[in-house]
Amino acid sequence: MFEFTAQRRVTYGETDKMGYLYYGHYAEYYETGRVEAFRSIGLVYKELEETGIIMPVLELHCNYHKPAFYDDLLNIRTMLPKYPDGVKLYFEYEIRNQEGTLLNTGNSTLIFFNLANRKPVAAAEIMGEKLAPFFT
């Protein structure tokens, strides 16, 4: 299993009238987790896009347990519980505040897609050597 924890602070502009982190921003926090997890193993998403490979989200599930508030420092734990299967990558997320309280869990499925020919491409071709050490 591969996992990585990134941090992100809740900004004032991300909160709603109740002072909670607005529910729609959790998908952005998941993205922060994915991008930083990839970066930690030497895969920079921007560089991947420059090769013509994009990763659209196919599915997203989000479970809200407790609210996050303005100025909370959140720990976004991003996990790949299994090696990429075919063209898809499955992620799981846990978001905790600075006290370690579980606020949110979720998961998403992304697909590797070749923009030039508009066809899916095997995830293993792109991430295989980067992820293999975590799944041996």
In tens digits, what is the pLDDT along the chain, a chain of 136 residues?
999 999 999 999 999 999 999 999 999 999 999 999 999 999 898 988 898 989 999 999 999 999 999 999 999 999 999 988 789 999 999 999 999 999 999 999 999 999 999 999 987 667 778 888 998 7
Residue 14's pLDDT is 97
Residue 61's pLDDT is 98
Q: Assign residue 83 a region: left if phi > 0, alpha if psi is -120 to 50, beta otherwise?
A: beta
Runs of H (alpha helix) within the chain: 26-40, 45-50, 123-131
Q: Which CATH number fits domain 2-135: 3.10.129.10, 3.40.50.300, 3.40.50.1860, 3.30.1490.20?
A: 3.10.129.10
Q: What is the DSSP letter of 17?
A: T
16 is known as an active-site residue: yes
Residue 125's pLDDT is 67
Residue 124's pLDDT is 65
Q: Cα(first)–Cα(last) distance of the chain, in Å?
A: 9
The Cα 35–Cα 6 span in angstroms is 9
Residue 15's pLDDT is 97
Break the chain into its structural domains and give their ranges.
2-135
Which of 134, 107, 118 is closest to 30 using CA atoms? 107
6 beta partners: 76
- Show the tokens assigned to 127: 């991430």
The Cα 58–Cα 97 span in angstroms is 27
- pTM to 2 decimals? 0.92
Angle made by CA atoms 48, 90, 133, in degrees to the nearest 5 = 70
Q: Which of 16, 71, 72, 85 is catalytic?
A: 16
Residue 21 Cα to chain centre, angstroms? 18
